[in-house]
Amino acid sequence: MPVTSTETPPQAPSADPPERRGLAARVRLGAVFAPVSSEFLLIASTALLLTGFGLVMILSATSATATAAGQQPYDAVLKQAVFAVIGIPLMFIASRLPLSFWKKAAWPGLIAASALQLLVLTPLGVENDGNRNWISIGGLQAQPAEFLKLALALWLGTVLFRKQALLGKWRHALIPALPVTILVIGTDLAGGDLGTAMILFVVALAGLFFSGVKLRILLVPLTLSAAAVGFLALNSSNRMARIMSFLNPDTTACYYNECYQSLHGIWGLAGGGILGLGLGNSKEKYDWLPAAANDYIFAIIGEELGLVGCLVVLALFTIFAIGAFHIVRRSNDMFVRVVAGAIGVWVIGQALLNIGVVLRLFPVLGVPLPFVSQGGTSLISVLLASGVLLSFARNLPPKPAARRTAAPDDADPIA
């Protein structure tokens, strides 16, 4: 009679041996500290340098008038520093998120940003200089339109990525991209902010361009936007006054009205010369130049740090552009190309527009200098956009290894 053994067979170990666990831990730790691409370093370093430089210039531009008003000289820079402390970690957290996250977040992000922008039409909205584009909650003001720029870029990337095989036909290239973009810009124009609306249009145009849409198809949104800008300018006395003052060669006639801010901005730049008056020695910031820490902070940079300081700022934005457009060039993913191109055009285009206003190349439009101007919402949105670029930079395909060219000494000798 067979005997059945009651002994249980030996069980497999429940965990890997200690040496395997140690190896896995080293692999995971190595992934965290793995070398990053040059694009990652370019974007992250310029974002941090411009943010820190902006804090210094905000302190310089606001401390004198705050002291004269009986306030603490560090109030403005401390408020901006709080947003920097929030935005910089958000940038690096965003850099760790996968591409799939940004694709899934596109539609919810655009809906949430549009709903937030519509709050300006409620009792929470705050009006300033004819524009109602701020909300105030518990004494804290925010400009929701800043988040529309990033949300629109991500949404366009997702939609155009899904339709990439059909973009040769105009109806697939423009629908739903054009109608949704018009609705998004409409939520901003409801508050009267034409400057931000122009930036949103540039973001949409850049997204279509980097998706590979035929250039003749882009004539449709270009024509519509030009007609819309002309209509909105003609139907606003405030906008027409700013445009006419910009075109008026006799600036003495409008010095105390529409030309006042732009003239003091150009005088501040001219007064700095090549090396500037020195950090903290601006004269225009003593209540001569309105919005010295906001839209016209570049004038204070030119006055205190001179042409050299202005060139340094332009060089940093150039490096940021190189990092962003290198991502466009190296990526094989249309979603990455569209979003990275749109963000790059947004940041660099807005910087050039702000500097052009200070130089009196454009009429006053009320757009901040990215990373540098005072404004917490603007700073957080542009840092978060930089985080999206950093996430793309982490997922770039490796560069092809350079082929080694044989030196003459390496060649086989001829018998």
Whether residue 382 is predicted with pLDDT greater than 70 in this model: the reply is yes
Phi, psi values for residue 156, rounded to 5°: -60, -40
When mean pLDDT is compared across 50-64, 125-139, 270-284, 396-410, the lowest value belongs to 396-410
CB 380 within 8 A of CB 238: no
**pLDDT given for residue 402 in this prediction:** 53
Annotate 323-332 with b (16+ C-beta within 10 A) or e (fewer).
bbbbbbebbe
Residue type, 32: V
The pLDDT-based confidence of 32 (bands split at 50, 70, 90) is: low
Higher pLDDT, 167 or 86: 86
Average pLDDT over residues 241-270: 80
> Six-digit token pair at 98?
């996968």
The pLDDT-based confidence of 192 (bands split at 50, 70, 90) is: confident
**pLDDT given for residue 2 in this prediction:** 47
Whether residue 59 is predicted with pLDDT greater than 80 in this model: the reply is yes
Length of the chain: 415
Whether residue 380 is predicted with pLDDT greater than 70 in this model: the reply is yes
**pLDDT given for residue 265 in this prediction:** 92
The pLDDT-based confidence of 411 (bands split at 50, 70, 90) is: very low
**pLDDT given for residue 34 in this prediction:** 64
Helix axes 219-234, 177-189, angle to 10 degrees: 20
Residue 127: in which H helix or E strand, if any? Answer: strand 125-128
When mean pLDDT is compared across 231-240, 255-264, 298-307, 337-346, the lowest value belongs to 231-240
pLDDT tens digit string along 85-102?
Answer: 999 999 999 999 999 999
When mean pLDDT is compared across 17-31, 151-165, 192-206, 230-244, the lowest value belongs to 17-31
How far is 313 from 16, CA to CA, in rounded Å? 54
pTM of the model: 0.87
Whether residue 325 is predicted with pLDDT greater than 90 in this model: the reply is yes
Whether residue 16 is predicted with pLDDT greater than 70 in this model: the reply is no
Q: Residue 30, class by beta-carbon neighbours within 10 Å (0-12 exposed, 13-18 middle, 19+ buried)? A: exposed
Average pLDDT over residues 233-240: 74
Most confidently modeled of 189-203, 306-320, 393-407?
A: 306-320
CB 146 within 8 A of CB 378: yes
Higher pLDDT, 289 or 128: 289
Helices vs strands, H then E, count in the chain: 14, 3
Higher pLDDT, 413 or 116: 116
**pLDDT given for residue 3 in this prediction:** 47
**pLDDT given for residue 235 in this prediction:** 75
Mean pLDDT of the chain: 87
When mean pLDDT is compared across 85-94, 123-132, 148-157, the lowest value belongs to 123-132
Residue type, 70: G
Whether residue 248 is predicted with pLDDT greater than 90 in this model: the reply is no
